[in-house]
Structure 1
Amino acid sequence: MIDNKITIKGDTVVDIQRGAIGHRATWTGLTYTKGCEAGMAEEMEKVIRQAISETGNTQGNEIREKCPDAEDVSVFADTFLSPTLQKTFEITFKTKNKDRVDLEFHHCPLLKAWQDLGFDDAACEKLCDMAMDGDRGIANAMGYEFHLGDTIAKGCKTCEVSFYKKEK
């Protein structure tokens, strides 16, 4: 059972950001489910993954341009994860150094939007993995590896996300 709790409440900017992210998730979720209803599940997943991945690559290139030292993964994290974004997803850093950043997300506004639409756990898990193609694209644009461990959408307590330097 998915438990996507919110502990940071009443922060106007965080609430606005969560709303915008949830709105984006609603579009994606409804696009995917309507495609599934039309018998095009595989095609919709492929197209949505391509679009999200390209979005991630675009965002990653923008982050790379703003990042004072893209060789330092902790500097990337500071550039990518603003204090507001950290509060939005209720992120804690498990590791943060020049070679790697390991994060735990305690809330997901995308998942909340899908839950609010009444999507079952399997659909939420599929949409979550599709959405993570954006983070995979960011890692790719930065020249990093990416790892997704546990996710809230799989019924786990947190989402475990890692960005780290590629092996040479």
Structure 2
Amino acid sequence: MAEEVTLEQLRAAVNMRASAYGHVFDVLKEKFGAEEAVDLLGEATRRLGTDMGAHFTAYGPADTVGLCDAFLGGIPGRDAMFAPEVIERSDERIEIQFHRCPLKDFWVADGRSQEDVERLCRAAGRIDGGLFETAGFVFKGRTWQPGQDGCCRLIVEPGTES
């Protein structure tokens, strides 16, 4: 029988992911500059999102309510780690505000500048575009900016029939 994964184990795994993103970002920034580092790391995370989006194609291009339920239902440690607030859940759009993000929390605790936290959030946030667009939807989300509370705001609208 498999052991249950605890919230502490989940946090440790996400912290390792955040640390890896940070190291890759630093190497890319040293070699190519900050904006190119964001672009390159962002493309890698977008591709990860594309892989994940394949699990949600049954909802595309228009079942936003089903997508919202499936997406939120699949987030490990959802409430404790991300504290999502559903702002809108309708046939026209879903909008979810994340009040916490374990990646961002790690980068802040690691002593990164607000500018680099914003850049890392922008790069890591491209995972969502890859996921929702692969599933057949239009993604219009935003990542955290200095001075804002919380973290990402996901905005997803129906896509078009192919």
TM range (shorter): 0.7 to 0.9
The match for 1:81 is 72
Give distance in 2, aligned partners of 1:14 and 1:136: 26
Q: CA deviation at 1:43?
A: 4.6
Question: What do you get for the CA RMSD once the two structures are aligned?
Answer: 2.3
Residue 154 (1) aligns with residue 146 (2): yes
Residue 40 (1) aligns with residue 32 (2): yes
Match 1:136 to one of 129, 139, 151? 129
Give distance in 2, aligned partners of 1:162 and 1:46: 21
Give distance in 2, aligned partners of 1:90 and 1:74: 19
After superposition, the C-alpha distances for 1:70-108 in whole angstroms (9 at most, x for unaligned) are 331111111111264431200010111223111111101
Of 24-33 and 69-78, deviating more is 69-78
The match for 2:63 is 72
Read off the aligned partner of 2:124 and give its amino acid letter: A
**What secondary structure, in the 3-state scheme, does the structure 1 residue paired with 2:125 have?**
helix
Give distance in 1, aligned partners of 2:82 and 2:18: 14
Give distance in 2, aligned partners of 1:111 and 1:150: 11
Give distance in 2, aligned partners of 1:22 and 1:90: 17
After superposition, the C-alpha distances for 1:27-58 in whole angstroms (9 at most, x for unaligned) are 01111113323x32355333312211111111
Give distance in 1, aligned partners of 2:44 and 2:134: 15
After superposition, the C-alpha distances for 1:124-161 in whole angstroms (9 at most, x for unaligned) are 0001011111001011111111122462x422123322
Match 1:164 to one of 120, 137, 157? 157
- The answer (yes or no) to whether the contact 2:38–2:119 under 8 Å persists in 1 is no
- The answer (yes or no) to whether the contact 1:55–1:134 under 8 Å persists in 2 is yes
**Matched-pair identity in %:** 22
Match 2:108 to one of 100, 112, 115? 115
Tell me the TM-score normalised to structure 2 length. 0.81
The match for 2:13 is 20
The verdict on how the C-alpha distance between 1:128 and 1:24 changes in structure 2, with shifts beyond 3 A counting, is same
The verdict on how the C-alpha distance between 1:57 and 1:36 changes in structure 2, with shifts beyond 3 A counting, is same
Query: Matched residue pairs, number?
Result: 152
The match for 1:5 is none
**What secondary structure, in the 3-state scheme, does the structure 2 residue paired with 1:154 have?**
coil
The match for 2:85 is 92
Tell me the TM-score normalised to structure 1 length. 0.78
Q: For structure 2, list consecutive stretches of 5 or more residues without a partner in the other structure.
A: none
Q: For structure 1, list consecutive stretches of 5 or more residues without a partner in the other structure.
A: 1-11
The verdict on how the C-alpha distance between 1:72 and 1:53 changes in structure 2, with shifts beyond 3 A counting, is same
